[in-house]
Amino acid sequence: MKKILIVDDENNFLLSLKDGLSDTFSILCANNGQEALDILAGEEVNLVITDIKMPVMDGFELLAQMNNAYSDIPVIVMTAFGSSEMEERLDAMGAFQYVEKPIDFDILINRVNQGLAAAKKGNITGVSLSSFMQLLSLDKKTCTLRITSGDHIGTIFFSAGELLQAFTESLQGVDAALEIASWDPVDIELQHLCRQREQVIDAPLGYILIESARRKDEKAEEEAKNKAKGDGESSCAGQPQEIDPASLIQPPEDPSTLLGQEEVDAENKAKGDGESSCAGQPQEIDPASLIQPPEDPSTLLAQEEVDADELVFAVEEAAAPSLPVQVSMLLDIINPVDGVNEVVVFDKKNGSIVAERNQGGNLSPYCAALVTQVTQINSELHLTVPRTFILHAQTGSTVLIVNGPQVFVALGLANTASADAVAGSIRPVVQRLTL
């Protein structure tokens, strides 16, 4: 029996779906995206049905995580957009099935069967980036996407469903958006905040997606032509080639030319003999040429100062250990966030500090002791350690601790910062971070 995972935060609705499908399928349930990922990590699931708006981890982040780690599992998205225009746009995406709320069970079962059939044929390759971006636009989502494709990294900013700005290593604006949208395959990371304020990209999202698709097709055609050309050349490599026998016959040389060459060879031989006869003879050397003028003392002093400066610089460079790449990316995400006063990243294996920014308070020892105590208590009681701790101080400041498999990240927040928003933006990175 095929196993289906249904993800929705409304328990009554979840139970009704389970009752309607349990006669035909084995049903698993989750109340949010994080619970769904936990189930996917331990169960073999054949299809996922998910809502979009949920607490803790919403459907967008779940789709992004599934695209990265479970791209072979078909997804059905439950929507409540409720307009024919949006239905047409969702139909045009084609990368995943969708059903509208309130759910029509006949339509839902039809979508489920279509999704399972596509998976059986191997036609599931995850949610495409273009479909994901259109879904963000339809839901008027505010977020930041970090897109990775091979060695390429790009960032896309959305505010209320509008595409504001995009960056790659060398491009920005429309050019960057077109470049990123043409990447395939991609890993999608969603952050629930947008640091971009100004709208730099004035082109509609539809134009970006259509133009990038055209460029992707052109690139695929060019690669196919080059491959065919290469295959054609390699197929001829082992074939016998026709050779004109006349090309093997060399015309006789002019006797006068041969005579002239003999005279040149004789002259070169005589010259070489003269040089070799001098090879063992002592040569006269002017003693004055062996004496070097003394260097200017001021020049020597200046050079010593330069060498000392370079030595100090080299020592300083050696003293600053480089951070792991994923830790650097995490700090790049946290640094621009307003209201984050202090950041400490701990290695859970040995309790050491991996990275620290704006240190000076008592956050490091306090958080290290806190997590150690909570972990010990949960271990003794056989409980799961919570992924997030939020502690409020009497001064109005907040301590946020995000717990991951290999690290935990402690942040000192001002009273103006939203702990839930900050936690939601960094939790996916912390969960995947490895040292």
111 and 154 both lie in a single domain: no
pTM (two decimals): 0.47
Both tokens of 46, joined, read 């054949």
What band does 378 get if pLDDT is binned at 50, 70 and 90? Answer: low
pLDDT tens for 110-168 read 889 888 887 776 555 556 788 888 888 888 889 999 999 989 999 999 999 999 999 99
Both tokens of 408, joined, read 């935990």
The CATH number of residue 376's host domain is 3.30.450.190
Question: Which secondary-structure segment (H or E) carries 342?
Answer: strand 340-347
What band does 258 get if pLDDT is binned at 50, 70 and 90? Answer: very low
116 and 193 both lie in a single domain: no
Window from 22-31, 109-118, 289-298, 385-394 with minimum mean pLDDT = 289-298
384 and 421 both lie in a single domain: yes
pLDDT tens for 311-354 read 444 444 444 456 787 788 788 778 777 788 889 998 888 878 88
**Beta-ladder partners of 185:** none
158 and 95 both lie in a single domain: no
- pLDDT value at 83 more than 60: no
3-state helix, strand, coil in the chain (%, to 5): 45, 20, 35
**Strand residue runs (E) in 244-323:** none
pLDDT value, residue 122? 58
CB atoms within 10 A of CB 293: 5
**Residue 13 falls within a domain, yes or no?**
yes
**Residue 283 falls within a domain, yes or no?**
no
- pLDDT value at 368 more than 90: no
CA 342: distance to chain centroid?
Answer: 26
Which domain covers residue 115, as residue numbers? Answer: 1-127
Last residue within a domain, chosen from 109, 127, 145: 127
Rounded Cα distance between 75 and 116, Å, is 10
**Residue 250 falls within a domain, yes or no?**
no
101 and 175 both lie in a single domain: no
The residue among 366 and 402 whose pLDDT is bigger is: 402
pLDDT value, residue 314? 43
CB atoms within 10 A of CB 149: 16
Last residue within a domain, chosen from 81, 111, 127: 127
Contacts of 137 (CB under 8 A, 6+ apart): 158, 161, 162, 163, 205
Rounded Cα distance between 283 and 274, Å, is 15
Last residue within a domain, chosen from 167, 197, 223: 223
**Residue 17 falls within a domain, yes or no?**
yes
SS3 264: helix
331 and 391 both lie in a single domain: yes
213 and 103 both lie in a single domain: no
**Cβ–Cβ < 8 Å for 150, 165:** no
Chain position carrying tokens 């990368």: 95
The residue among 430 and 274 whose pLDDT is bigger is: 430
Rounded Cα distance between 307 and 319, Å, is 18
SS3 286: coil
Rounded Cα distance between 303 and 309, Å, is 10
**Residue 141 falls within a domain, yes or no?**
yes
331 and 379 both lie in a single domain: yes
- pLDDT value at 9 more than 70: yes
**Residue 305 falls within a domain, yes or no?**
no
Q: Which of 389, 398, 435, 401 is nearest to 418 (CA)?
A: 398
- pLDDT value at 170 more than 80: yes
Mean of the per-residue pLDDT values of the chain: 77
Dihedral sign, Cα of residue 134, residue 135, residue 140, residue 146: negative
138 and 104 both lie in a single domain: no
As for how many domains the chain has, the answer is 3
- pLDDT value at 208 more than 80: yes
Chain position carrying tokens 């070169």: 268
59 and 133 both lie in a single domain: no
80 and 142 both lie in a single domain: no
- pLDDT value at 51 more than 50: yes
Window from 24-33, 148-157, 250-259 with minimum mean pLDDT = 250-259
**Residue 145 falls within a domain, yes or no?**
yes
pLDDT value, residue 319? 43
360 and 420 both lie in a single domain: yes
The most confident of 5-9, 128-132, 366-370, by mean pLDDT: 5-9
**Residue 244 falls within a domain, yes or no?**
no
